[in-house]
Amino acid sequence: MTSARRTPVVIVGGGQSGLAAGYHLRRLGVDFVILDAQSTPGGAWQHTWDSLHLFSPAAFSSLPGRLMPPQAGQEYPDAGHVVAYLRDYGKRYELPIERPVRVSGVHRESGLLRVETDSGTWHTEAVISATGTWWRPFLPAVSGRADFGGQQLHTVAYRRPQDFTGRRVVVVGGGNSGAQIAADLAYDTQLTWVTQRPPLYLADDIDGRALFDAASARRRALDEGRTDTGGVASLGDIVAVPPVREARDRGLLKAAPMFSRLVPGGVEWADGTRAEADTVIWCTGFRPALSHLAPLELRGRRGHIATTGTRAVDEPRLHLLGYGDWTGPASATLIGVGRPAREAARDIASLLA
């Protein structure tokens, strides 16, 4: 049996958010450990579909301290390049990462926080939760889902179009995942792409850099008491990355409105029209993976943990990092997580002092 260990700060999650937090804690001279459930570095980037490319060039996808190097022949690097960058980042800054270690619960105990894992217990004065969203796929409640006789999968299980060649596939979702997977499948399957509202593409000449700028501008406006600029949502839902643009321009990405229910052989719209389907792919998003924080009982009525910046309002020893705009503008992006990570690290350093 492993005895309990003690460290000033535990970072839960060793993806990009956990690494950025580690970088800043190290700079402030604060000791910490990163506990990561994956056996290998790279967080969620290890599990995405084969054709996924970043929506920003490498130089605009960097964590604090080290620019992401460009990928030869690719303006927008692929997920494998991001994994290599994250692996190198952890090594370069000698971040103390323990893996695979899954945190099952964070508890209050005698003035400290007790972190329970499948590899023993840590006692600590502060926790940064950086567990991402990939691990909690969201499926909407749609009538008839249990009646459908074909295959259903979420974005997290999609890998490559060859797995569906010749099949009748319905892709659900008008965000980036939906558009990219629909574009992937547009050539060799009988594709039906359904979206809740007509697809809203960002202008072809703007990419993830504009998303970051919009999120930052919104944060500044709100902080300064000015009118809400609308942030990222004001630009559109879909970054027109080259494969999406190509499929769209060839007329292969025609979106139908959302169907009203699933039937045994496919999907059906309110007027009775049907599309036969072998497979339905739900590109319907994610929720923050926060079950390890349940023992702290911080969730409000709608399941949300209230934060000021990254700090939990009702537990100042806990910071939440990288889940979305509610934990810092664009904090769920490579370039955007650096700033909230720095704020979390500074806040914890003063708490420990």
Closest separation in Å from C-beta 322 to ligand FAD: 3
In whole angstroms, what is the distance from residue 220 CA to residue 203 CA? 24
343 part of the interface to ligand FAD, by CB under 6 A? no
C-beta closer to ligand FAD: residue 253 or 334: 334
Residue 43 or 266: which CB sits closer to ligand FAD?
43
Which residues are 7's β-sheet partners? 124
Whether residue 329 has a cis bond before it, omega within 30° of 0: no
CB of 214 to ligand FAD, least distance (A): 14
Kindly tell me which of 231 and 322 has the beta carbon lying closer to ligand FAD.
322
CA quadruple 325, 71, 13, 65: dihedral sign: negative
Binding mask 275-304 for ligand FAD (x = CB under 6 A): --------------x--x------------
Instruction: Mark the segment that binds ligand FAD (CB under 6 A) among 9-17, 192-200, 227-235, 261-269.
Output: 9-17
Q: Which of 9, 13, 71, 266 touches ligand FAD by CB under 6 A?
A: 13
Stretch of 247-255, 297-305, 310-318, 331-339 contacting ligand FAD, by CB under 6 A = 331-339
Q: Does 129 bind ligand FAD (CB under 6 A)?
A: no
Gap between the Cα atoms of 295 and 224, Å rounded: 35
For residues 71 and 81, give the distance between their C-alpha atoms in angstroms, rounded to a whole number: 7
Structural tokens at position 110: 């005698």
Among 22, 64, 174, 208, binds ligand FAD (CB under 6 A): 208
* Closer to ligand FAD by Cβ: residue 266 or 338: 338
C-alpha to C-alpha distance for 259 and 207, rounded to whole angstroms: 30
Helix axes 176-185, 242-249, angle to 10 degrees: 60
Identity of the residue, 144 or 295, whose beta carbon is nearer to ligand FAD in the bound complex: 295
Question: Which residues in 139-168 contact ligand FAD (CB under 6 A)?
Answer: none
Q: Does 261 bind ligand FAD (CB under 6 A)?
A: no
In the complex with ligand FAD, the residue whose CB is nearer, 57 or 265, is 57
- Sequence-distant (6+) residues with CB within 8 A of 112 are 123, 124, 125
Least separation in angstroms between CB 3 and ligand FAD: 20
Could you tell me the maximum CA-CA distance found in the chain, to the nearest angstrom?
A: 66
**Least distance to ligand FAD from the beta carbon of 71, Å?**
13
Q: Where are the alpha helices (DSSP H) in the chain?
A: 16-27, 79-92, 176-185, 208-223, 242-249, 338-352
Count of residues of this chain found to bind ligand FAD when the rule CB under 6 A is applied: 34
Contacts of residue 21, defined as CB under 8 A and 6 or more positions apart, other chains included, come to 11, 128, 130, 319, 321, 341, 344, 345
Choose which of 9, 25, 130, 247 interacts with ligand FAD (CB under 6 A): 130
SS3 (DSSP) at 74: strand
List for the chain the helix, strand, coil content (%; round to 5).
30, 25, 45
Which residues of the chain form contacts with ligand FAD (CB under 6 A)? 12-18, 35-38, 43-45, 48, 54-56, 61, 102-103, 130-132, 134-135, 177, 208, 289, 292, 322, 332-334
